[in-house]
Structure 1
């Protein structure tokens, strides 16, 4: 077959292909006319919704709230909070106060070796304490506080006039719709977890749940785990149960730090501090994601970035959204058998500042000495 014949065949195939495309387009146009199909246009579903419209976040924590079901509406969508008011009609303005807020710009890995390296991965932006994001999710930022946003009443009432209501305007080029009557009922700050030692309504000391009418009894934070800790006087294993609380934990601020310190301390029944060096198997350099460690006879201190943990990313120091610390020591028991004692604790701290985590041996000191 010569070149001229090939060229003619290729031209013929091209004509048929063009003809086929033209016929398909003609058929589509004909169907559109016959069946009166609408032209493609932007779509805003009237069925956009949120599974939950009542939000009860804790003040002082960065918390995302709600996730819209956009029902195949054309994106991008624009979200705007409108008509914020209390249940009695008063306007709501406090939650929209603009405050400096940490926003991540890089990926936190837990492998950073200095505070400066961590801080280089986030920046401070001026944002309303409560806002709706481009995704349609709401966020209450950690910059919020009880002083700026009034929490729910201390008497545990939940009256309509105390609730904050707002509507949400959603729009795209296809139109707009409004979802009415979202509610925001914030809890007061609980600056750390576990926080069962705090009354969530008043912020005061929580009563003993076993005897809530007794003002002389309180609830305690307990360690996450401990084992092989023997009492120095009793030679019996220390225990936490319904009858006794031998080891409890306090998470509390202290004065005199640099604004981003974290301390760990251990206290005996008479409130005398125990030298942390007695916990001789503790891996102090791997305990927390902290720097510039200082060891004294009363505490071990680090420079840290807050909140703790910084994110929900699993690292050597945190998993499941909580930081984890483990203290241990060994001693020789009877027949020179080596025994290792462990004391562990899972926790979070949300408010920036100088904090200490104190383990209180309430009934008796732990036994650190060897048996002879």
Structure 2
């Protein structure tokens, strides 16, 4: 009987102890949490910008990337441009003031079927002309920054600082430089990058293949073709013309194998005996991705003109040339190809 009582008492004591233990669990757990190491963001003081002087070309939207080494700092980092100033140390309001810039809201693919479809993928937003992407450290100079808005070389340009933070720390990178080059509305060109003056050196096609001269029957080379890119007014168009050695018009139909519908990403093709014209969106190319209208790397548009003729013995010969280019300024543009020494031989033997 006594043993039964003891067991009952022990059960009561055990129940009381368990109740106390349950009540103490949160306190014990909290205490353990304080003793355990916690995950904290780290900011490695060795983190750095790998490039501190930036020299983009005005008039082009330029992304300056792969320029920050986080040294395994905890991501995301947050970047902010602070204290942008002129070379005299005064605030540079032109770098702070928001401007209208054209921003892609949907991806351009190169398969769009109209100007309206392209423009529906872009929108105007307010941005500083020069800014840093918040979590990557990449800098952007927007195309709206032109010669009339920002200073350019040989002026020493602008100095700015960048604040980089995460929950583990903060650091300022001081006295970074923005020293843009003057606008060059198209590539290739003969303009000096610093002064903007033209050397008048001729622009040549990119390749010439199996073209013979009409009078000389000698091979035509790139030196036998001058290329001129001219902005002739406002608008959204690109016109292509060919001139012979006496500067008379060559009928574009002579380049009979040219795929005019696929030549540029343009619309409302106007094909005449004197020129080819397209409605186009600018810049050309619109973005740096490979499409049916660009070079393999997507950095330039590519024009390919070709034709065939019967040579000696009735053998079919293929000839033609290509021209890689970019145009950054909106307008009505024309590209003229002048055969300066001899005309292409289009006729059969």
Q: TM range, normalised to the smaller chain?
A: 0.7 to 0.9
| Superposition RMSD in Å | 2.3
Are the equivalent residues in 1 in contact too, given 2:151–2:157 (CA < 8 A)?
no
| Deviation per residue, 1:172-228 (Å, 9 max, x gap) | 344422111111110011111122x1122222222xxxxxxxxxxx31221111122
User: Secondary structure of the equivalent of 1:335?
Assistant: helix
Corresponding residue for residue 10 of structure 2: none
Tell me if 1:90 matches 2:84: no
**Is the partner of 1:254 in helix, strand or coil?**
strand
**CA-to-partner distance for each residue in 1:277-323, whole Å, 9 max, x for gaps?**
11111110111111000012221010111111111222111131211
In the alignment, structure 1 residue 359 sits paired with structure 2 residue 341: no
Question: How many residues matched?
Answer: 318
> How far did 1:47 drift?
2.6
User: Which residue of structure 1 lines up, in the alignment, with residue 214 of structure 2?
Assistant: 232
Structure 1 residue 38, shift from structure 2 partner? 5.6
Name stretches of at least 5 consecutive residues in structure 2 with no aligned partner: 1-24
SS of residue paired to 1:274? coil
Aligned to 1:54: 53
What secondary structure, in the 3-state scheme, does the structure 2 residue paired with 1:91 have? coil
Does residue 176 (structure 1) correspond to residue 158 (structure 2)? The answer is no
What is the aligned partner in structure 1 of residue 6 from structure 2? none
TM superposition shift of 1:42: 3.5
The 5 Å alignment of 1:157-196 reads 162-195=156-189
CA distance in 1, matches of 2:165, 2:271: 58
Residue 274 of structure 1, aligned match among 241, 246, 250: 250
Report matched runs for 1:335-354 at 5 Å.
Answer: 335-354=313-332
CA distance in 1 between partners of 2:273 and 2:96 (Å): 47
CA offset digits 1:29-54 (Å, max 9, x no partner): 49x85xxx764333333232111111
Within 5 Å, which residues of 2 pair with 1:1-372?
Answer: 29=32, 39-66=38-65, 67-134=67-134, 135-153=136-154, 162-195=156-189, 197-206=190-199, 218-240=200-222, 245-255=223-233, 259-318=235-294, 319-320=296-297, 321-371=299-349
In the alignment, the residues of structure 2 paired with residue 228 and residue 43 of structure 1 have an alpha-carbon distance, to the nearest angstrom, of: 63
The secondary structure found in structure 1 opposite 2:48 is coil
- Could you tell me whether the CA contact under 8 Å between 2:229 and 2:336 is conserved in 1? yes
Moved more, 283-292 or 225-234: 225-234
Q: Per-residue CA shift, 1:129-183, capped at 9, x if unaligned?
A: 1111112211001111111112112xxxx7xxx2311111122344422111111
CA deviation profile, 1:49-73 (whole Å, cap 9, x unmatched): 1111110111111111243222333
Secondary structure, aligned partner of 1:328:
strand
TM-score, with structure 2 as normaliser: 0.84
**Does the Cα contact within 8 Å between 2:153 and 2:195 map onto a contact in 1?**
no
- Counterpart position of 2:8: none
Q: Partners of 1:144 and 1:322 in 2: how far apart?
A: 21
Deviations 1:245-304 (A, max 9, x none): 21121122123x6x1101111112232221111111111011111100001222101011
The structure with the larger Rg is 2
Any unmatched runs of 5+ in structure 1?
Answer: 1-21, 207-217
CA, structure 1 residues 331+39, in 2 after alignment: closer, same or farther (shift >3 Å)? Answer: closer
Q: Could you say what secondary structure the match of 1:273 adopts?
A: coil
1:290/1:70 Cα in 2 relative to 1: closer, same or farther (>3 Å)? same
SS of the residue 2:118 aligns to = helix
Structure 1 SS opposite 2:329 = coil
Partners in 2 of 1:328 and 1:112 — Cα distance? 25
Secondary structure of 2:127's counterpart equals strand
SS in 2 for 1:285: helix
